[in-house]
Amino acid sequence: MDLRILPEAIERRRHEALRFLASPAGERWRRRAAWVLIVVLPVAFRIPALRRHWALRLLEIAGGAAVLVKLGQAVRDWTPSPAG
């Protein structure tokens, strides 16, 4: 892959992603993603078998559950701009 076209490809993918997220299907996806971040992941922090996993331990130490909930709320409440 030619690295000179990489910035253009990234910008094109970003625009496509924002256009998708502004669509009705994207809104449904955002709602589901927010639900997972707000409800499912904090519950996963309480399951003993999962708490032994290094990634969840690291997130727990870093206060990751609260950050993930805030991220979920931001995803849920995000309103795309009309120009997007």
Which pLDDT tens digit goes with each residue over 22-63? 899 999 999 999 998 888 888 877 888 888 888 878 877 777
pLDDT of residue 25: 93
Of 46, 72, 74, nearest to 56 by C-alpha is 46
pLDDT of 16: 93
Does residue 81 carry a pLDDT above 80? no
Return the domain boundaries, the chain: 3-77
Q: Is the pLDDT of residue 14 over 80?
A: yes
- Rounded mean pLDDT of the chain? 85
**pLDDT bracket for residue 1 (50, 70, 90):** low
**Rounded distance, CA 61 to CA 56, Å?**
9
The H helix count followed by the E strand count for the chain is 6, 0
What region does 63 belong to: left with phi over 0, alpha with psi -120 to 50, or beta?
A: left
